[in-house]
Amino acid sequence: MFYDHKINSRLLLGTAGYPSPEILSDAIIESQTEIITVSLRREGKAGASFRTLLNQVNKKFLPNTAGCHTVKEAVTTAQMARELFNTDWIKLEVIGNADTLQPDPFALVEAARILTQDGFKVFPYTTEDLIVGEKLLEAGCEVLMPWGAPIGSGQGLRNIEALRTMRAYFKNVPLIVDAGIGSPSQAAHAMEIGFDGILLNTAVAKAKDPILMAAAFRDAIVAGHHAYRAGIMEKRDMAYASTPIYGLADFN
């Protein structure tokens, strides 16, 4: 449940960098996602045809403020996206470092507060920092989207213990791993530790077969969520026989 919006798929899929519009459309359909992220920066001469394509797949739009480095730039981009895509949902990015694309926590919280007061439902791209998470919730966010690793790096969950702590600390807050997921197994791992969804783009868009990769992520995320709900066995330091030795027949 994201902002009172019930979803069945826990995969949120980006729309940038695909080999062709047709492959993008097929990957969206194959993934069974219900939410697709779109960037205002895709809007140019081909903007109208791009929006037409996205409208045809009939998914919920989550515009983003990708590439924004200041509060003013992010807020302005969000307001333009609301008019263009007719939605009050926004994935908020305020980048603080050009090399790592790490979010600027101070600008992120300020922009989130401005946007929530303006009626936006903000999905903030953040780190696994608990204090930043608390400030974003105080600013009006109802969802947190910590990175697994830098955007587009494919490194997976670089700080697993911090993400586990975040999950335990924000027990009733929807948490989505956003950025850094490069393989279905990494996505499944995030779901196994209790995250509510995965937002990704590059791992599907740049795959040799994006459509097949979309299906792989779809299934991995479902499997990881089922495993979390079922209860994964704890690791042990020593072997533990699945068949007890007591009560076995003695053939001597």
Q: Residue 11: helix, strand or coil by DSSP?
A: strand
Determine if residue 179 is labeled as part of a ligand binding site: yes
Q: How far is CA 115 from CA 131, 169, 195, in A?
A: 20, 25, 25
Within 10 A of 225 (CB to CB), how many other CB atoms are there? 20
Binding site annotation covers 97? no
Residue 52 labeled ligand binder: no
Gap between the Cα atoms of 27 and 11, Å rounded: 12
Whether 171 is catalytic is: no
What DSSP string describes 184-203?
HHHHHHHHHTT-SEEEESHH
Distances (CA, A) of 112 to 15, 105, 147, 238: 23, 10, 17, 48
Q: State the pairing for strand pair 89-92/197-200.
A: unpaired
Q: Distance (Å, rounded) from C-alpha 158 to C-alpha 146? A: 12
Task: Name the active-site residue from 91, 135, 206, 208.
Answer: 91
With H, G, I as helix, E, B as strand and everything else as coil, classify residue 168.
Answer: helix
Q: Is 216 annotated as contributing to ligand binding?
A: no
CB atoms within 10 A of CB 44: 8
Annotated binding site for 1-deoxy-D-xylulose 5-phosphate: 152, 179-180, 201-202
Report, as residue numbers or ranges, the catalytic residues: 91
